[in-house]
Amino acid sequence: MTAVEDPAELQTRNRKIVQEHLEQAYAAVDGMIRKTYSRHDVETTSLLRDLRSDLNSLLPEIRYSGLDTFHSRKGTLDDFYASENNFIASSERFYQAITSSNESEKDIDVFKLQQLLSALKRNFRERIPASDDVIKEFRIRTGIGPVIEPVKKTSPTIEAFGIHREVAMNTENSLSVSSAAGVFGVRREVVINTGTSSPGQSMGISMGSSSSGVIIEPDGRELAPHLLASLYNYFNLLEQKYSNNHPEMSATDEFIGDRKWDVEKGERYIRGNIYDSLFSRTIMFCTVFRPFDDLKQIAESVQKEADRVPSGQYLSLCVVGVGWPEDIMKWVASFSHLRMSLFIYDSGTGTFCFNKDLKLSNRFAFWHNLDKETSKLYDQLLVLLQEHGSISVAEAAKELELEQKSTAEYFKKLLKAGVLLDVGFGEHKYALAKSNVKEDQT
């Protein structure tokens, strides 16, 4: 019999292992592409690029559980363990084959690698979720006993749009929860029952050590079905955008397309971080469901949050609500701060509001709005080169709104990749190496 392990913990651990396998495999495939390209092995290089593209498509699904599509599958606890064993075993086989191919001097069997990756995809999508029934069976088998659902008492306060607030907690936790809510001056109705509060309903956001105590807690109120569906669709869209795109321009006009970018999605919030180094975060993009009814409350809360952002860092914050009052919308449309952009989104109407007069707010709006595509820096540069034929670093910096030193470094990378040619004959003018062709940069 398979060793009995907590289903949720096992699935999380396996997912992390496979993510590491795929990230290392992606880097190995990059190395093999460079190797075959230098040997002028066009066919193998092309096949490896297709493999890398497949890896790039699978990685976001592995990283972010919100993209999972296996929720219709059901099974027993033993079925769950079997599916997880197949998942982790197929990842091991693919990883070992990639490692061996990268170290070998023989011809690379890309077809075999594609087959192994297809098997991994299939086993990933055929997993069984750690559902309530699976967890209940695990608890019974281990002697913990079935989960007893706490009795919920609905708040009598029914607000507009079919919304009411509800917070489940123990009497021993009532003081601490009230204190946390008070950080943002938000009044909350508290419903006391015999259950315990869920740790997944709070989000701590820190923009450096000076703001480690700042808490923005997503609102856990119940929503009418159509509003809840709209809210889920909105956060799913943001997660898809965050997994398929990477911020390229910083708040100080530097190129950050090569910086570390990570994303975290939770219950009614999503945030992405750009790092200068392993621990030095420079930009945070945060979207959180937290309705405010009163201008004074949201103004005080947002100002406190903005003032806590340390020098050298930047926060792009979007607060999501339903039925924003007109005075709040007018205030947000005029909000300005040195280290923060502010947006609000109405999940009921789809209204998106921010100060459109600010360059940085316009630059970062994509990370909170409903747009599915954004113009890439490389595409903008191609347009400039196609219009002018050649361009200097200073001219490109001005047109792209990119800091000149950062533009020069970006051009160096494109020169090294063979995308650009120096055609200035001492004037340092640059043109496309191949006109009207966008090469895959290896």
Mean pLDDT highest for which of 61-70, 169-178, 360-369?
360-369
Same domain assignment for residues 314 and 385: no
Q: What is the pLDDT of residue 293?
A: 87
Same domain assignment for residues 36 and 111: yes
Q: What is the pLDDT of residue 144?
A: 67
Alpha-carbon distance of 213 to 219, in angstroms, equals 18
Choice between 220 and 81, residue whose per-residue pLDDT is larger: 81
Choice between 245 and 179, residue whose per-residue pLDDT is larger: 245
194 within a domain of the structure (yes/no): no
Same domain assignment for residues 402 and 283: no
Q: What is the pLDDT of residue 280?
A: 76
Tens of pLDDT, residues 358-370:
999 999 999 999 9
Pairing verdict, β 391-392 and 429-432: antiparallel
Percent of the chain with pLDDT over 90: 34
3-state SS class at 188: coil
- Mean pLDDT, range 136-158, rounded to an integer: 57
Parent domain of 385? 377-432
Is a pLDDT exceeding 50 seen at residue 152?
no
Same domain assignment for residues 237 and 360: yes
Query: What is the chain's Cα-based Rg?
Result: 25
Same domain assignment for residues 235 and 336: yes
Same domain assignment for residues 302 and 323: yes
CATH number of the domain to which 420 belongs: 1.10.10.10
Same domain assignment for residues 284 and 306: yes
Q: Cβ contacts of residue 61 below 8 Å, gap of 6+?
A: 67, 68, 124
Alpha-carbon distance of 260 to 201, in angstroms, equals 27
Q: What is the pLDDT of residue 425?
A: 63
Q: What is the pLDDT of residue 420?
A: 84
Same domain assignment for residues 355 and 384: no
Q: What is the pLDDT of residue 249?
A: 92
Number of structural domains the chain divides into: 3
- Mean pLDDT, range 129-141, rounded to an integer: 87
- Mean pLDDT, range 291-306, rounded to an integer: 91
Same domain assignment for residues 231 and 346: yes
Alpha-carbon distance of 231 to 370, in angstroms, equals 12
- Within its chain, how far is the Cα of 8 from the centroid? 21
Is a pLDDT exceeding 60 seen at residue 57?
yes
Q: What is the pLDDT of residue 279?
A: 61
Same domain assignment for residues 100 and 12: yes
90 within a domain of the structure (yes/no): yes
Tens of pLDDT, residues 28-52:
998 898 888 888 888 899 899 889 8
Same domain assignment for residues 363 and 229: yes
The type of residue at 72 is: S
Average pLDDT, the chain: 78
Q: What is the pLDDT of residue 383?
A: 86
Is a pLDDT exceeding 60 seen at residue 390?
yes
Same domain assignment for residues 228 and 360: yes
Last residue of a domain, one of 117, 139, 161: 139
